[in-house]
Every structure is written in structure tokens, then in C-alpha cells.
Amino acid sequence: MNEPTAGAMAEALQQALRGTRTRNPLVGAAVLDRDGNLAATGFHPGAGSPHAEVNALAAARAAGIDLSKATLVVTLEPCAHHGTTPPCAETIARAGIPRVVFLASDPTEAGGGADFLRERGVTVEKYDDESRLPADSRLLAEQLNARWFRAKREQRPFVIAKSARTFDGYIAARDGSSKWITNAAARSDAHVLRSRVDAIAVGAATALTDNPRLTARDTSERTLVRPARVVFGMRSLRPGSHLDDPATIRLSGAHLASDLRHLYRKGVRSLLIEGGGKLVSSFLRARLVDQFISYVAADLMGSGNPAVSFPGVDSIGERQSWMWDPSGMGASAWLGTGADLNLRLQTIPKEG
């Protein structure tokens, strides 16, 4: 594999990070022109939007690149299935690209694009010389979708836990009030996140205290999409409350791993857990959270309902270690949303 391909793969990996982690993996792509120059790039912003390859090809066309002599470099094997968008493999074949280089094979039902393209005369190579990548790209290649693939292997949704908290770690005051811990920018960011997942869950206490709607709304209160709504805990909800709806999925929460597999069988590929602290803590303790998003307000409470609390860690060596997740955030894993911080973390893949 030559140097231009290595450079393009490093760039494609950086592009992939611009997307958000939801029901689809993060993917980036780059196009090399006939002379091996990096001519265009693309990334997949998130579920429901065009895939990285399609965006990179469109950018190359817009730049006047002759695709019949170009190479497409992509971080994941192009998809061959009809999801919310047409199969990328078909789009690539139609574009007349003669050579495709991909980094990771796609073991999911969406895979198979490599064979599809080979059958149509395209030269398809799996990038197998990661030693040529810069050290940070090698690490990124290893970590980019590790948890996402793990969720697939375990036949459970990719799990994102989210909380809004004071900077000393409380999600609600002692009287249970929690509304408006964070500012309007953070709340609107949270609605974008909701619009990109298949289901949103809360614990029974949050359902009773906050009566949340769990819908994705924009600032004008227009409902964008309707993810499935899930309540963990079997207590009766208040008649007429937003989640007192036959369509709400009720789960006991006694066996979280099997509850997640149940949701997967119902077609839920990404689950956003919006609290409260007890439910999120149980998921964290069971190591079933793939990404943790925390909106941190510049407020101090000193006491109240903690964002996370569980027994079992008696010495520092038993702590769970996480790392910053720069996906969907540009260069930084934590960005200000007005006066609030938006903290994104992911588990360290090797640790699991």
C-alpha cells in the first residue's frame, strides 16, 4: 500500500470523527485523483443522513475530479444493503471508480459491499498495512467503532447515557426538582441527540417526577421524529401522563443485559438513557454504557440526587477508566454549549 493511500486513510479516519455515534458506525472517506493527490473527503454525519462514500464522491465531482481514474479510500467496507439510504456499493459502482481501499470489514447485515464491487470489476483492497499510518491514526483505527461492533456482537443496542448535572455532580435537588439544570443550548443539543436514536429510556422515578415526553423537538417545539419510549421499573405511571401510553415499552430492569437484547430484537439499535441517576448507575455498574454524555452546568448544589452512585469501588484500582470521545465535536471531546460544558466520554475498548 503506497504513501498516498496511507495519507488518505489517515484523513478519512479524522473525517469519521466528525459524525455522531448513534445506530450507525462512524465512517470517513477520501478520494485520491489519478496522480494520487487527496482530492476530496466525506464523512457520515449520523443515522438517516448520506454515508461517507456518497459525500466524498459528491465532493470529488464538485471539484471536477475524473472518477474513472480515481481511488476511493474508506474506513469501513462500503455497505451493500438498503437501509434509510441506498447501498453505497451500488453508488460507487455507478460512479465508475476503478479502485476502492477500505480499512475495517463490516461484519453486520449491512456488509458485503467488497464482494459486490469485485463482481462488477472494481479492484477492492482491504488496507492491511496499519504500520504505515501515523501513530494517532493507528490508535483511532483500533478505537473508532470498537464499542459499536461489540454491541452488534452482543446483539444489543449501542447504549448512550446522558445526564445534565451541576459541576459537583448532582442531577436533582433533594426535593426532586431538576428542570433547567442546564441552559437552552444544552437542551437543544440534547434534542438533536434524541432525534438520532431508536429509543429513549428513563427510570420509573424520573417518569413519575418529571413526566417527560421523551420526544425529539426543535426549539419551536416541533416534533422531529418519534423514537420508541422505554420506562425501566414496573411501578404504575400517573394516568394521563406523557409516558402512560400503550406504546411505551415497560421493562423490569432486573436483568439489564437481557432487557437490552429484548430491545434489539424489537429493532432498537441505539438507546439513549436519560436518567435518572439510579438507572444510569445500574447500567454503568454492569458496564453496558458505550458512550457517556454529560452536560455540566456552572452551578453548585452541595447535596441532592447524584448523577452516578453505586457501591463496590473501595480502592482506586477498582475504578472504571474512560477516555474522551472526540466524535461529533470537531477537535475537542468537551465543548461549551453556552455557559455549560458538554462532556463526551467512551469506554476504553480493550478494557471492554
Ligand X SMILES: NC(=O)c1ccc[n+]([C@@H]2O[C@H](COP(=O)([O-])OP(=O)(O)OC[C@H]3O[C@@H](n4cnc5c(N)ncnc54)[C@H](OP(=O)(O)O)[C@@H]3O)[C@@H](O)[C@H]2O)c1
Report, as residue numbers or ranges, the catalytic residues: 53
**Contact at 8 Å (CB) between 199 and 227?**
yes
Angle (CA) 265-266-272 rounded to 5° is 100
Q: Which of residues 184, 234, 257, 339 is near ligand X by CB under 6 A?
A: 234
**Least separation, in Å, of the C-beta of 165 and ligand X?**
6
CA distance 144 to 245: 38
CA distance 76 to 95: 18
Q: Which of residues 28, 45, 87, 233 is near ligand X by CB under 6 A?
A: 233
Confirm or reject binding of residue 328 to ligand X (CB under 6 A). Answer: no
Confirm or reject binding of residue 342 to ligand X (CB under 6 A). Answer: no
Amino acid in position 322: W
Residue 22 or residue 305: which is nearer to ligand X going by CB?
Answer: 305
CA distance 57 to 131: 27
Residue 83 or residue 169: which is nearer to ligand X going by CB?
Answer: 169
CA distance 289 to 297: 22
What residues have CB less than 8 Å from 352, skipping those under 6 apart? 150, 287
Confirm or reject binding of residue 274 to ligand X (CB under 6 A). Answer: yes
Residue 276 or residue 328: which is nearer to ligand X going by CB?
Answer: 276
Site string for ligand X, 164-193 (x = CB under 6 A): xx-----xx---x-x--x------------
**Least separation, in Å, of the C-beta of 300 and ligand X?**
15
What phi, psi does 129 have (nearest 5°)? Answer: -120, 65
Sheet containing 28-32: order of strands? 38-43, 28-32, 71-76, 99-104, 123-126
**Least separation, in Å, of the C-beta of 187 and ligand X?**
10
CA distance 19 to 52: 9
CA distance 191 to 135: 36
**Contact at 8 Å (CB) between 339 and 30?**
no
Window 195 to 214, contacts with ligand X (CB under 6 A): 202-206, 209-210
Confirm or reject binding of residue 275 to ligand X (CB under 6 A). Answer: yes
- From 40-48, 112-120, 227-235, 343-351, give the range in contact with ligand X by CB under 6 A: 227-235
Residue 100 or residue 293: which is nearer to ligand X going by CB?
Answer: 293
Residue 67 or residue 231: which is nearer to ligand X going by CB?
Answer: 231
Instruction: Find the DSSP H helices in 88-200.
Output: 88-95, 113-119, 135-143, 146-153, 184-195
Amino acid in position 333: A
CA distance 116 to 352: 33
**Least separation, in Å, of the C-beta of 341 and ligand X?**
14
Site string for ligand X, 77-116 (x = CB under 6 A): ----------------------------------------
Residue 13 or residue 204: which is nearer to ligand X going by CB?
Answer: 204
- Binding residues with ligand X: total (CB under 6 A): 29
Confirm or reject binding of residue 276 to ligand X (CB under 6 A). Answer: yes
**Least separation, in Å, of the C-beta of 330 and ligand X?**
24
Count of all residues that appear for the chain in the document: 352
Site string for ligand X, 124-143 (x = CB under 6 A): --------------------
Residue 73 or residue 190: which is nearer to ligand X going by CB?
Answer: 190
**Least separation, in Å, of the C-beta of 312 and ligand X?**
14
Window 301 to 320, contacts with ligand X (CB under 6 A): 305
Long-range contacts of 259-265 (CB under 8 A, 24+ apart): 259/232, 260/154, 260/156, 260/157, 260/159, 260/288, 261/154, 261/155, 261/156, 263/156, 263/157, 263/199, 263/230, 264/155, 264/156, 264/157, 265/155
**Least separation, in Å, of the C-beta of 219 and ligand X?**
19
**324: three-class secondary structure by DSSP:** strand
Binding site for ligand X (CB under 6 A): 163-165, 171-172, 176, 178, 181, 202-206, 209-210, 232-235, 253, 256, 274-279, 282, 305
